[in-house]
């Protein structure tokens, strides 16, 4: 519930996701899309129904748990645990038509460490 700590932040988060989804160009039927940092699967759920092959990669989320929740909602996604820094060890080169990542930088310790240098 990272985004529900402050009043109204859930609405802001949802709008950010909607705006990001609107930026994805039209894709062919069966296009492969990877979400890096799928978390609870919200973006994958919103991509379902578009006749795409959905994949997710996350360092922390439990692929079985999230996969079961998505399946109950009618969304099929191939979820894996792993790092985007090791994609070639997980997926073949040029496997995906589109790769998306929403709200992941704020969870990266190294980014947070460097951002304090920018903000003082």
The Cα 86–Cα 111 span in angstroms is 18
The Cα 79–Cα 91 span in angstroms is 12
Rounded mean pLDDT of the chain?
82
Confidence of residue 105 (pLDDT cuts 50, 70, 90): low
Domain residue ranges of the chain, discontinuous segments joined by +: 29-119
Confidence of residue 103 (pLDDT cuts 50, 70, 90): confident
Per the CB < 8 A criterion, the answer to whether 59 and 85 are in contact is: no
Per-residue pLDDT at 18 exceeds 80:
yes
Q: How many CA atoms lie within 13 A of 63 on its CB side?
A: 14
Does residue 105 or residue 34 have the better pLDDT?
34
Instruction: Give the pLDDT score at 113.
Output: 53
As a whole number, mean pLDDT of residues 52-67 equals 94
Q: What is the side-by-side strand order in the sheet with 98-100?
A: 77-81, 53-58, 32-36, 98-100
Confidence (pTM):
0.79
The Cα 69–Cα 62 span in angstroms is 11
| 29-119 placed in CATH 3.40.50.620 | no
């Amino acid at each position: 519930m990272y985004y529900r700590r402050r009043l109204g932040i859930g609405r802001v988060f949802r709008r950010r996701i909607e705006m990001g989804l609107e930026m994805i160009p039209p894709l062919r039927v069966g296009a492969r899309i990877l979400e890096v940092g799928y978390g609870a699967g919200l973006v994958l759920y919103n991509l379902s129904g578009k006749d795409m092959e959905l994949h997710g990669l996350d360092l922390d989320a439990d692929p079985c748990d999230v996969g079961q929740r998505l399946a109950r909602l009618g969304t099929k996604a191939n979820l894996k645990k792993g790092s985007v820094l090791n994609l070639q060890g997980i997926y073949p080169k040029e496997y995906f038509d589109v790769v998306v990542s929403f709200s992941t930088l704020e969870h990266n310790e190294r980014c947070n460490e460097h951002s304090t240098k920018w903000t003082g």
